[in-house]
Structure 1
Amino acid sequence: MTFIPFSQRNGYVEVSTVIIRETLTTPIMNSIQNLFTELWNKYTLPLSIFEKLTAEFGRYYLNSRIEGNQHKMINPIHYMDYDDLEWYEKLDVIEWCLDYLYKHLNSDEIHKLDCGIIDLNKEFERHRYGYRLVKGTFIETTSNQEIGSIEHAISIANGNVQIHLRQALQSISPSNQTPDFRNSIKESISAVGSFLRENFGGQTLGDALNNMQKKRPNLLHRFIVQAIEKLYTYTNQSNTGIRHELLSHDYLPDHSDAIFMLVQSAS
């Protein structure tokens, strides 16, 4: 049961219900910093990986010199506290660090990292932050069930399917000042196409669906198959500019369209 203090229960302090977006408050930033602290002392990730992360961050993110080990002198966790960084630039740093860890940890260590991110997302919810982390990428708030389906799909996907899903996520990350909703939708439906073609063959998503229905006629209900076909058709429309050139501006996909397509494709 969530603790509600006396001052709020009795109306002495007004409870804020505003979702926080496009900023990083001190409590939210502290929660992020606490995650990185706990990765080493609670989840026991090796300190050696943090030393390597710091060196790579200095050399390839900050483009510092290696002479005199200058590239090892700035801790990325402390770098996020710099006042002259915009909120989205701080999110960039967080995503870069988490992406590095996902690429360099073993499977057991990745499981610990996932647990840490679950705890951080709970803190985001507690502080009414408008974003959540999914496999190291920020995404605008959606339901826990939807986040779970995206995380699960990325975790079990292989090769091109995982690449498409990750790119769909990154295209709409709040760290992007110009999120690419059309590309996110294209990558989402491409993940579905890659999955179907890898398992059932064919040159297109449509071919793969036809092959699936011949080989496994009872695998999916016919209305679900029709829904996939209609979503694919939607991405080919001339007024969306998703899979083909944009020929009109009467309809432009937005964040809700991109989230919907990503969740459906992950499911």
Structure 2
Amino acid sequence: MRFSQRIGKKPATKSIQLETIDEDLLNGLWNMVKIFVLDKIPKYAQYGETEFDHFSNILWHKFYKLPIDTIPEYDFQTEKFIRDSFFKGKWYDVYDFIEFLASLEFRSVNTHDFIEAVNNLLEREFSAYRFIDGKIAPISNKIEVEEIQQSLDQVNYFTSLSGANIHLTNALDKLSDRKNPDYRNSIKESISAIETTCRVLTGESTLGKALNSLESKGIKIDDQLKSGFDKIYAFTNNKQSGIRHAIIEEHKNPDFDDAKYMLVVSSSFINYLVGKCKTLGITIK
């Protein structure tokens, strides 16, 4: 804590930044771009196109959606354009840009270090967002982030769980859409990820039957825990929720908290099941 914060002249903490980016966070994000990306990409080549030229072409074509013949002649002018666009953009434009950079593959850029540094900054500056599986998601709790990331890693590792991987990824994508989040279908994808995982492990066609059949595989689930997931599944099948059925006039619109809860719970349960299988020596292909 700084001196000014200790004596009460400046607040010790600030509000979580959900749909805003304050000056400290904006400057910090630009510094991450400069240090880990722009300053790492070589701007000189003995012959032909430089790596920075290639980077600029991709940026103009895929991100800015501008004609590549409008790229400035000199590198410092190109970087100035990038900087001006960054600082003039809305809060979601900034995150779009950061996310886009993390999706690129350049030999001179260490994407892992970039993402880690950005996440540390987001935490320090009280952003409501974190990188998860290459996407910037509106989840800031460290434990929740780790649960979701671990689950995505698990279902990506096992070939038989590729369907669950697709559902979890879709759930995260729909929750993470900063301009048009789809909470209802995010919840649907989250519960489908559990369904798919249970079906792979038991061969049963429904989640209810699969949960009951897990014991035949040696996976003992506490009755209260199983009852809890039965109720969650019943909620998603409730016509009032409009999640897995046609939307009727009287229905409750799920919100961000509902969708985040379902994603975290689904991820945790998948981690739980995979962990149980490993402990009991049950093979997952």
Where does residue 201 of structure 1 map in the other structure? 203
Where does residue 86 of structure 2 map in the other structure? 81
Alpha-carbon separation, structure 2, partners of 1:151 and 1:7: 37
Deviation at 1:53, TM superposition (A): 5.4
One-letter code aligned to 2:243: I
SS of match in other structure, 2:250:
coil
Q: TM-score, length-normalised on structure 2? A: 0.74
Deviation at 1:144, TM superposition (A): 1.0
Where does residue 147 of structure 2 map in the other structure? 149
Q: Given the superposition, is the C-alpha separation of residues 5 and 223 from structure 1 closer, same or farther in structure 2, using an over 3 Å criterion?
A: same
Q: Given the superposition, is the C-alpha separation of residues 49 and 141 from structure 1 closer, same or farther in structure 2, using an over 3 Å criterion?
A: farther
Equivalent residues, number: 253
Q: Given the superposition, is the C-alpha separation of residues 253 and 15 from structure 1 closer, same or farther in structure 2, using an over 3 Å criterion?
A: same
Where does residue 267 of structure 2 map in the other structure? 266
Preserved CA contact (<8 Å) 1:139 1:169: yes
Of residues 187, 190, 213, the one that matches 2:189 is 187
Preserved CA contact (<8 Å) 2:237 2:244: yes
Where does residue 217 of structure 2 map in the other structure? 215
Of residues 4, 7, 11, the one that matches 2:8 is 11
Preserved CA contact (<8 Å) 2:242 2:248: yes
One-letter code aligned to 2:31: N
Alpha-carbon separation, structure 1, partners of 2:112 and 2:63: 24
Q: TM-score, length-normalised on structure 1? A: 0.78
One-letter code aligned to 2:19: E
Preserved CA contact (<8 Å) 1:171 1:180: yes
Deviation at 1:19, TM superposition (A): 2.0
Alpha-carbon separation, structure 1, partners of 2:60 and 2:6: 48
Deviates more, 1:31-40 or 1:236-245: 31-40
Preserved CA contact (<8 Å) 1:58 1:71: no
Alpha-carbon separation, structure 1, partners of 2:41 and 2:248: 51
Preserved CA contact (<8 Å) 1:80 1:93: no
Q: Given the superposition, is the C-alpha separation of residues 12 and 63 from structure 1 closer, same or farther in structure 2, using an over 3 Å criterion?
A: closer
Preserved CA contact (<8 Å) 1:197 1:204: yes
Preserved CA contact (<8 Å) 2:6 2:12: no
Deviation at 1:242, TM superposition (A): 0.9
Preserved CA contact (<8 Å) 1:64 1:71: no
Q: Given the superposition, is the C-alpha separation of residues 46 and 113 from structure 1 closer, same or farther in structure 2, using an over 3 Å criterion?
A: farther
Preserved CA contact (<8 Å) 2:202 2:213: yes
Q: Given the superposition, is the C-alpha separation of residues 34 and 12 from structure 1 closer, same or farther in structure 2, using an over 3 Å criterion?
A: closer
SS of match in other structure, 1:93:
helix
Q: 1:167-192: per-residue Cα shift (whole Å, max 9, x none)?
A: 2122122622x311111111111111
Q: 1:23-79: per-residue Cα shift (whole Å, max 9, x none)?
A: 22232123223333444599x89999876554334323333345x585999669547
Alpha-carbon separation, structure 2, partners of 1:45 and 1:214: 56
Where does residue 64 of structure 1 map in the other structure? 66
Where does residue 246 of structure 1 map in the other structure? 247
SS of match in other structure, 1:256:
helix
Alpha-carbon separation, structure 2, partners of 1:128 and 1:167: 26
Preserved CA contact (<8 Å) 2:20 2:91: yes
Larger-Rg structure:
2
Is 1:165 matched with 2:168?
Answer: yes
RMSD: 3.4
Q: Given the superposition, is the C-alpha separation of residues 201 and 126 from structure 1 closer, same or farther in structure 2, using an over 3 Å criterion?
A: same
Q: Given the superposition, is the C-alpha separation of residues 77 and 24 from structure 1 closer, same or farther in structure 2, using an over 3 Å criterion?
A: farther
Deviation at 1:193, TM superposition (A): 1.3
Where does residue 31 of structure 1 map in the other structure? 28
Deviation at 1:156, TM superposition (A): 2.2
- Runs of 5+ consecutive residues of structure 1 not aligned to the other structure: none
Deviation at 1:264, TM superposition (A): 0.5
Deviation at 1:257, TM superposition (A): 0.8
One-letter code aligned to 2:137: I
SS of match in other structure, 1:133:
strand
Deviation at 1:250, TM superposition (A): 4.4
Preserved CA contact (<8 Å) 2:33 2:98: no
Taking the TM superposition and a 5 Å limit, the aligned residue runs for 1:48-63 are 54-63=56-65
Alpha-carbon separation, structure 2, partners of 1:52 and 1:190: 40
Q: 1:175-221: per-residue Cα shift (whole Å, max 9, x none)?
A: 22x31111111111111112222222232323432332322242x32
SS of match in other structure, 2:92:
helix
SS of match in other structure, 2:136:
strand
